[in-house]
Amino acid sequence: MAKYRYDLKMKFINLVINEGYSIAMASKELDISSDIGKRWVKVYEYHGEDGLKPKYNDGYDSKYRESALRYMQENKLSSQELFYYLGANGPSLTTVKRWITSFNAKNNKDVDMKKDNELPIEIASDATKDDLLKEVNYLRTEIAYLKKYNALVRKKNRLETKKKRR
């Protein structure tokens, strides 16, 4: 049996998407983990309401596992992205990672895919140490700016949500 009912999942999605709640606020409102809420939103973005409906299955056969791993490899997905693609009622993230480990052990190689949160890095071959330090400082400043901007946007959204509630 599913741990969370479909109507609770849809209520959460409605709060986040239609009513402008942040994931953290909606999670607190419905007394669920924000990690679970984040997964529901991602699955909803990939599959719509059908991705959140309960599905019952008694395991995943080898053809299903192989096709999922092949899809992951062909599309250069991380294990997290494959989990979202397969849906909330598909295998858990831990199960997906177990499939990858098992596949790699059987084939004595790694599945050619991007790692979670991997970003391409381009470094000019003629870059000096000073150039690299300047770039690092620039990137740190950019990150700090974006964090501050995101904090301000979240604060604005919280204030608007409080006004709506009154």
Q: Domain count of the chain?
A: 3
* pLDDT value at residue 112: 47
Same domain, 108 and 125: no
Q: Are residues 50 and 65 in the same domain?
A: no
Q: Which helix (H) or strand (E) holds 142?
A: helix 129-165
Domain extent at residue 138: 121-166
Q: Tokens 């699955």 — which residue?
A: 43
Domain shared by 39 and 1, yes or no: yes
pLDDT digits (tens, 9 = 90+) for 127-165: 788 888 888 888 888 888 888 888 888 888 888 887 777
* CATH at residue 33: 1.10.10
Percentage of the chain lying above the pLDDT 70 cut: 83
The tens digit of pLDDT for each residue in 85-97 reads: 887 567 777 888 8
Q: Is this model's pTM higher than 0.95 or not?
A: no
Distance CA 124, CA 52 (A): 45
- More confident call, 137 vs 61: 137
Q: What percent of the chain has pLDDT over 90?
A: 13
Residues contacting 81, CB < 8 A, separation 6+: 72
